[in-house]
Structure 1
Amino acid sequence: MTDISATHVVPSRPVADRAARTRLAYLDGWRGLSIALVLIGHFFPVPGINLGVLGVEFFFVLSGRLMGEILFIERYPLKKFFKRRFSRIYPALLVFVIVAMVALSGTFIAFKWKAALTALTFTYNYAGILVTRAGALDHIWSLCIEEHAYIILALISVIVSSRSRVVVLLLALALLAMANGAVSYWVFGMGYEATYWRTDVHIASILLSASICLLKADGRLPAVFRGKHVALAASICAVVLFLDRVPTPIHYLFAVPLLALAVNALDFSPRYLTGLLSSWPMATLGLWSYSLYLWQQPFYKFVYEQGSAPIPMLAGVFVCALCSYYVIERPAREWLNRNW
């Protein structure tokens, strides 16, 4: 998924309006953990829990925290924010969609130009439910939600000036989205994809994390949530609540808020946890995570639908993703940021 810089606003006073941003390696590691869960869940599934779905939630709550810092605390210029988001996301996505369409045409993954178009316009999460879809693009639903969240949060940052009001609004919208998901799933009998691919449901993960981030920055996060072991305990509880035997809406009503708390409480965690997340393997996975996320889907489909051996397919993921990162993603981002 997308890689907003894993930085953190370090306040010099209770309200962090004067803040310097320093890079926190353990947030890169959290992103690395997210993509690791997705890859394990897809290529080496663990009975009783969908680690791929859980990994997506790890991505979402991290994005919520970082967007909260960038848009509401640092007040990053929106023009520059969207330019950098475009340069980071679109070149690699465009190449992936084109290569996948050409390479997979005629295979069991039937490609449709409408599906490709909706992926490139970030409408796949709705079009995939209502209009058309292609198996190798199914993961784009989560990228769509993140892009929609950029726009919604940016609009809120312009319209609402008071951070206290922003927190209230974010929490209210998150609760509405969570309720929307529960009603869609339980009352109207919609399936997982018809419910939780939708931005009007799944954006709750990002909004909750952003609101907790702002409460923390303003010194209003209750002390009980700032303990040394809160991040680890909340993460473990969230994983338990994501077990298959737990009803799906419970995952998003209770487990996701725990993950949103966990990613924000990392700042208070002991060295053994932040050190593990900051380690070279985890941080490097985080660096490659967007390209890995893009390219894992078609290989996963070969394993899931064709019974291909998972280890060679996973190796193929890394080959394609590293080529994407070092040949497309990073050079394109640097060139666009330098010249645009």
Structure 2
Amino acid sequence: MTDISAAQLVVSRSAADTSSRTRLAYLDGWRGLSIALVLIGHFFPIPGINLGVMGVEFFFVLSGRLMAEILFVERYPLKAFFKRRFSRIYPALLVFVVASMVALSGTFVAFKWKAALTALTFTYNYAGILVSRAGALDHIWSLCVEEHAYVILALISFFVSGRARVVMLLSTLSVLAMANGAISYWVFAMDYETTYWRTDVHIASILLSAVICLLKADDRLPALFKGPHVAVAASVGAVLLFMDAVPTPIHYLVAVPLLALAVNSLDFSTRYLTGLLSCWPMATLGLWSYSLYLWQQPFYKFVYSQGSAPLLMLAGAFACALCSYYIVEKPARGWLNRNW
């Protein structure tokens, strides 16, 4: 899963202001927790709960918070915003897709070039339902949702003035997206992927978190949600509601809003929680999370389809991800940011 730099404003700034941002290690730790849930859910599944699906939601609500800060609080220049998003996302994605095409063509995965093309054009979450898909790329649906959210939020930041109007619009879009998902799943009996891979449904996770972030920035968040234990309580509630026994639409109607509240309430949390998330293993895992998210999928498919040793496959995923991070993702981002 892609990410925005886990940082928060010290003070609001205009586009012309060059104030520095203070990096919050516990947000990197939240991202580390997100990828840990995905890896556990894929390689060492726990009966009764899909930790992989839940881990993706942890990613989404964090992205919603950070995009709201960057686009609506900081008013970061859109040209620079998209350049930094491209430098962060595309080099590693391109190398992953090309390497997967070369390595997996002719194997049991039956790699498909059409699927690769839709992955590189961020249309996989719709094309994978309607046209063509490949198991090694199925996780790209979530990256597509996030990229679409970047564009939608950037357009809103450009065309809509006034924080109150933005909050009202984002709230309305969130409700419509959640209702769309519930109706698709319950009324039209669509399966999980046909319903929740779609941006017009799943963008609610990102938008809800953005709404809560903006309410917090304007000091309009109710005092009840600013307590030191809100993040823990909301997270625990969300985890319980993500159990398989709970109907799938409830995950997105109730559990995801709780996660959105949790990630935005970390600023008010106890030092124990933020300290735990800020510890070196969690924060470092967060830094590696995008490359890990890209590369875990083919290895997970080997476990799922071939019964390969999960621990060995997980080690392979880590090896490829670390090569991706240190050889491709980090150097490419640095070079592009310096020279573009």
TM bracket (short chain): over 0.9
* Cα displacement (A) at 1:36: 0.1
- In structure 2, the partner of 1:43 is 43
- In structure 1, the partner of 2:285 is 285
Deviations 1:1-35 (A, max 9, x none): 1121100123489xxx9976211000000000000
Output the CA distance in 1 between the equivalents of 2:223 and 2:10: 18
Deviations 1:279-332 (A, max 9, x none): 000000000000000000000000001100000000000000000000000000
Output the CA distance in 2 between the equivalents of 1:206 and 1:227: 23
Counterpart residue type for residue 230 of structure 2: V
| Contact 1:11 1:217 survives alignment (8 Å) | no
| Contact 1:148 1:199 survives alignment (8 Å) | yes
- In structure 2, the partner of 1:331 is 331
Output the CA distance in 1 between the equivalents of 2:75 and 2:183: 35
Output the CA distance in 2 between the equivalents of 1:10 and 1:222: 21
| Contact 1:11 1:18 survives alignment (8 Å) | no
Distance 1:12 1:63, change over 3 A: closer
SS in 1 for 2:10: strand
Deviations 1:125-182 (A, max 9, x none): 0000000000000000000000000000000000111001100100100000000000
- In structure 1, the partner of 2:73 is 73
- In structure 2, the partner of 1:303 is 303
- In structure 2, the partner of 1:197 is 197
Count of matched residue pairs = 337
Runs (4+) of structure 1 moved beyond 6 Å?
A: none
SS in 2 for 1:10: coil
SS in 2 for 1:154: helix
**How is 1:143-182 mapped onto 2 (pairs within 5 angstroms)?**
143-182=143-182
Instruction: Calculate the aligned-residue CA RMSD, in Å.
Output: 1.3
**How is 1:313-328 mapped onto 2 (pairs within 5 angstroms)?**
313-328=313-328
| Contact 1:303 1:310 survives alignment (8 Å) | yes
- In structure 2, the partner of 1:84 is 84
Output the CA distance in 2 between the equivalents of 1:87 and 1:20: 20
Output the CA distance in 2 between the equivalents of 1:175 and 1:228: 28
SS in 2 for 1:89: helix
In structure 1, runs of 5+ residues without a counterpart are: none
Output the CA distance in 2 between the equivalents of 1:122 and 1:239: 29
Output the CA distance in 2 between the equivalents of 1:237 and 1:243: 11
Percent identity of equivalent pairs: 83
SS in 2 for 1:203: helix
- In structure 1, the partner of 2:120 is 120
TM-score, structure 2 as length reference:
0.98
- In structure 1, the partner of 2:109 is 109
